[in-house]
Amino acid sequence: MNNFLILANSDKDVNLSLSNKISEYLRNAGAKVVIVSDVGESRDECTIKEELMEGVQAAIVLGGDGTMLRAAHSIGTYNIPFIGINLGTLGFLTEIEESNVYEALDRLLKDDYIIEERMMIEGSVKDKVFDALNDVVITRAGFSRIIGLKIYVNNQLLDTYGADGVILATPTGSTGYNMSAGGPIVSPKASAIVVTPISPHSLTSKSIVFDSTEEIRVEIMKKRKTQETEAIVSFDGENNIELSAGDCVNVKLSARSISLIKMYDVNFYSVLREKIGG
């Protein structure tokens, strides 16, 4: 590779100090480099001009997992691989630490890496369609103490319950909000959709792992007579849409996927022990 786009979160990379060092290192090696910031606060803040993407072979993302998510949505349509440099906390998506940046850059220049594909899910609601690398999350709105949910799988009713919400996560997203809500961790190499209730008011409502070919529909039920908006749905934490009783969110496997550049053949479960092990 010799043509790179650097996407920097300036909240993490103050004054773009590391971004500029990386750019200088790559340019001294004969590579072409473009730096774009900021992808720190929301997807909409990272607008990549088409002319900047000409010939780009990989995106180097500086920040945390949230920055990687926003970068994936900002330039995912260009179908180039991503490598993340972790300037955040856990960093499940950002493999490279600041201490081994230049080793990773040398390997990029020599094409010494592997590509790992990560599935995405597609959520549709109110004639709008969004992709998610991590999750589609439906949560209660306003003063609703709980929301009523009907879960359908391939148009067959699975369950009806009250809860604070529900998470529909990819394997990549299984280590995020899904895990915090008590859902299972799924290998990123799997092709699955995890459905996890958020604080369900039931002894029997548990997480379920579905094959990625399944299509899931969540219907909002009426719980508050005096409140029009019952819930809010978000896609990777963005694009919040209000939901009323009778509204449905449909989730299925997306036609898109994300390519991550991996430098080290490290076992996923070793990463788990390192990041969240006791």
What are the structural domains, with CATH classification, of the chain?
3-113+263-276 (3.40.50.10330), 121-255 (2.60.200.30)
- On whether the CB atoms of residues 122 and 251 are closer than 8 A, the answer is yes
Whether the predicted pLDDT of 271 surpasses 80? no
Preceding peptide of 38 cis, ω within 30°: yes
DSSP letter string over the chain? --EEEEEE-TTTSGGGHHHHHHHHHHHHTT-EEEEE---SS-GGG----GGGGTT--EEEEEE-HHHHHHHHHHHGGG---EEEEE-SSS-SS--EEGGGHHHHHHHHHTT--EEEEEEEEEEEETTEEEEESSEEEEEE-TT-S-EEEEEEETTEEEEEEEESEEEEE-TGGGGTHHHHTTPPP--TTS-EEEEEEES-SSSS---EEEETT--EEEEEEP--TT-SEEEEEEETTEEEEEEETT-EEEEEEEEEEEEEEE-S---HHHHHHHHH--
pLDDT of residue 40: 45
Catalytic site includes residue 38 = no
Whether the predicted pLDDT of 93 surpasses 80? yes
Among residues 13, 38, 65, 236, the one annotated as catalytic is: 65
pLDDT digits (tens, 9 = 90+) for 142-158: 765 789 999 999 999 99
pLDDT digits (tens, 9 = 90+) for 227-262: 667 899 999 998 899 999 999 999 999 999 999 999
Of all residues in the chain, what percent carry a pLDDT higher than 70?
A: 88
pLDDT of residue 53: 83
pLDDT of residue 250: 98
- Average pLDDT rounded to a whole number, residues 45-55: 71
pTM: 0.88
